[in-house]
Amino acid sequence: MGLASYLVRRLITFLPSVLGALLITYLIAYIIPTDPVRAWVGEKLMDPSTLERLRRDYKFDAPWYEQFAFLVEKLLTGSLVDPVRGVPVVQQVAQRFPVTVELAIFGMLFTVLIGIPLGIAAAARKDSAIDFFVRIFALFGSSMPAFVLYYFLILVFYVHVRASLLAGVPTLSPSCAAALDNVKNTVPLLGHAVWAVGQVPILGGLMCMDTGVVSTTVARMWLPGLALGLLSGGFVARIVRNSLLDALSSDSILFAKARGLSSSRVWRHALKNAFAPIVTILGLNFAGLLTGAIIAETVFNIPGMGLYIYQGITRLNFPIIIAGTFLFSIIYIVMNLVVDLIYALVDPRVRY
């Protein structure tokens, strides 16, 4: 009971939201009074019969709700096809999503590495120079235009100091990919999960202990990760600082000190209690990185979901739009669930 039923309950309430999200996106794209099929074809000269065929295939002659149902059905059965490139959408997503995940992981890593220690230091030395610095750092982080920072970092670390790669996406070595496939095929549910995780190059590389993949991935991703970390690190630090200070001024900390607990035990009490808001912010941050890294992907030339969706939208590529929206909604839902799960694990009051 308890945890499991809680999860199930949360899942059920979100399914209607996903459907709603799909509907809205579809309607938005539908309203655009340009001929989508023409947009897909682009400048190429096409004979009218092919255009007609495309129109019929994607049900453009049918009323909007039929078209919507058609797209959703194709989506859920995994048979949605990108008309521009003629490749199944699922395949394209499977290629590009892991890259975005990788970027998000690196971004998260730096955010946490920068934000949490700074936040703890600021809380430990309240109103000191470091506290003031954290405040200013957070303000700069939220005032700096992302693309400007990206260009600047590229200027420093790529042009002047060749410390980064700006092209290519490392992939798993064939042996590693085969090993993962093996796991997927032999072990049931867990095997699929492991395989899915392994598709993200850095994670797969770590799992296979493939130093080649790991080192090229790091060389490629550390700079955008650092950039993302600098932008949100300050904000996270402030949240950490504030929630730690709140926890430290609580009566239970006074009682802990009155019991003569060592400073490390006292801090453990404070950190555990300060956990909740920090986890929420980090979860939201991660979800944001997964769904909104368009600018980073553009500047750093990373072929992830962000660019994919962006191109899909600008070219009115309905299948991509639908698939992308679906994915993004799922991401938010899963993120919310994960955050709630972590809460439930840490805080016994939440479980009932």
Task: Name residues whose C-beta falls within 8 Å of residue 67's C-beta, 6 or more positions apart in sequence.
Answer: 30, 58, 59, 60
**Beta carbons of 241 and 228 less than 8 angstroms apart:** no
Gap between the Cα atoms of 251 and 249, Å rounded:
7
**Binding test (CB under 8 A) with other proteins, winner from 70, 133, 157, 310:** 310
Shortest spacing between CB 26 and other proteins, in angstroms: 11
**Binding test (CB under 8 A) with other proteins, winner from 3, 152, 163, 211:** 152
Query: Of the two residues 195 and 308, which places its CB atom closer to other proteins in the complex?
Result: 308
**Binding test (CB under 8 A) with other proteins, winner from 40, 267, 326, 328:** 328
Q: Count CB neighbours of 96 within 10 A.
A: 20
Token pair of 297 as six digits: 């992907």
Is 32 among the residues that bind other proteins (CB under 8 A)? yes
**Binding test (CB under 8 A) with other proteins, winner from 81, 257, 301, 337:** 257
Count of residues of this chain found to bind other proteins when the rule CB under 8 A is applied: 63
Is 347 among the residues that bind other proteins (CB under 8 A)? yes
* Site residues (CB under 8 A) for other proteins, limited to 194-223: none
Is 259 among the residues that bind other proteins (CB under 8 A)? yes
Shortest spacing between CB 42 and other proteins, in angstroms: 16
Shortest spacing between CB 32 and other proteins, in angstroms: 5
Is 46 among the residues that bind other proteins (CB under 8 A)? no
Task: Find tokens 């986890």 and name the residue.
Answer: 279
Q: Which stretch binds other proteins (CB under 8 A): 82-90, 109-117, 217-225, 247-255?
A: 247-255
CA atoms in the 13 A half-sphere facing the CB of 319: 28
Is 56 among the residues that bind other proteins (CB under 8 A)? no
Q: Which stretch binds other proteins (CB under 8 A): 78-86, 181-189, 201-209, 288-296?
A: 288-296
Count of helix runs (H) and strand runs (E) in the chain: 16, 2
Is 123 among the residues that bind other proteins (CB under 8 A)? no
Is 142 among the residues that bind other proteins (CB under 8 A)? yes
**Binding test (CB under 8 A) with other proteins, winner from 3, 76, 94, 159:** 159
**Beta carbons of 253 and 270 less than 8 angstroms apart:** yes
| Alpha helices, H only, the chain | 3-31, 36-41, 48-57, 64-76, 89-124, 129-143, 146-154, 174-186, 189-199, 201-208, 211-248, 251-258, 263-292, 294-300, 305-314, 318-346
Residues in the chain: 352
Question: Torsions phi, psi of 59, nearest 5?
Answer: 60, 40
Tell the burial category of 9 from Cβ atoms under 10 Å away from its Cβ (0-12, 13-18, 19+): exposed
**Binding test (CB under 8 A) with other proteins, winner from 148, 178, 190, 330:** 148
Is 57 among the residues that bind other proteins (CB under 8 A)? no
Shortest spacing between CB 83 and other proteins, in angstroms: 18
Gap between the Cα atoms of 36 and 32, Å rounded:
9
Q: Interhelix angle for 89-124 vs 263-292, to 10°?
A: 150
Is 184 among the residues that bind other proteins (CB under 8 A)? no
User: How far, CA to CA in Å, does 223 sit from each of 86, 165, 260, 334?
Assistant: 34, 9, 45, 27
Is 13 among the residues that bind other proteins (CB under 8 A)? no
Is 151 among the residues that bind other proteins (CB under 8 A)? yes
Shortest spacing between CB 43 and other proteins, in angstroms: 18
> Which residue type sits at 237?
A
Sites of contact with other proteins (CB under 8 A):
17, 20-21, 24-25, 28-29, 31-34, 135, 139-140, 142-148, 151-152, 154-155, 159, 250-252, 254-262, 265, 269, 272-273, 288, 291-292, 294-295, 298-299, 309-310, 313-314, 316, 321, 324, 328-329, 332, 346-349
